[in-house]
Amino acid sequence: MSKKLLIQAVTKFLAGVVLVGLLVFLPAGTLRFRNGWLFMGLLFVPMFIAGIVMMFRNPELLTKRLAAKEKMKEQSIVVKLSGLMFIAGFITAGLDFRFGWYRLPSIITIIASVIFIGAYLLYAEVLRENTFLSRTIEVQENQKVIDTGLYGIIRHPMYTATILLFLAMPLVLGSAFALIIFLFYPLIIVKRLKNEEEFLTKELEGYREYKEKVRYRLIPFIW
């Protein structure tokens, strides 16, 4: 573990906490937004634990996860669209609470919280199985196709996990209006996924054969 990596990880983590906190609580007009605190805890406590584990057990993977600048123009646009969706969704959730537009029942929040935690565990398993994962689309040195575990069932388990995470977010925040905004996320992911598969088919040895072996992209027996 290097001092530079530690500083980079801590800085990005704290920046994320501050940014999301501002996006959620400022529109709410109060810190007495219980769903907001629940969401912050569900999002950042596991993230902090995962960061600590990666820092000591696999700092190379942590470095890849912190590298977020896309080199491909089309993927850069996808990332920016995702960012706009998050900003709009969090602000809407805060305003929904502030003005009492429509609050979802508590049972929905509880179920969404369970799904959120389950999706985080799924995401952690994906990171364990595939140490080549980075936040940008690229082929790394000595990279090989992973076709076991979750990757033997669907080709993009990480995207499945993130879709579950992000669709659960507005429900944890208790906002039906924010959910409408977050429903655009699966469409964004499908766009990114198709472009990524085109790239990997051309650049990663064995990926074409992997697609023939594992037919489903995100949902077993469906798509």
User: What pTM value is reported for the model?
Assistant: 0.85
- Which band of pLDDT confidence, cut at 50, 70 and 90, is reported for residue 195? confident
Q: What is the mean pLDDT of residues 60-83?
A: 70
pLDDT at 70 over 90: no
Sign of CA dihedral 96, 102, 103, 107: negative
Scan for tokens 């790239």, then name that residue: 199
Q: Greater confidence, 57 or 1?
A: 57
CB within 8 A of 62, min separation 6: which ones?
5, 9, 51, 54, 55
pLDDT confidence band for 58 (50 / 70 / 90): confident
Of the CA atoms within 13 Å of residue 51, those in its CB half-sphere come to 18
> Model confidence over 169-191: pLDDT tens digits?
999 999 999 999 999 999 888 88
**From CA 91, how far away is CA 206, in angstroms rounded?**
43
Rounded distance between C-alpha atoms, residue 120 and residue 68, angstroms: 19
Name beta bridge partners: 175: 103
Say which CATH class 3-213 falls into: mainly alpha
Rounded mean pLDDT of 86-102? Answer: 95
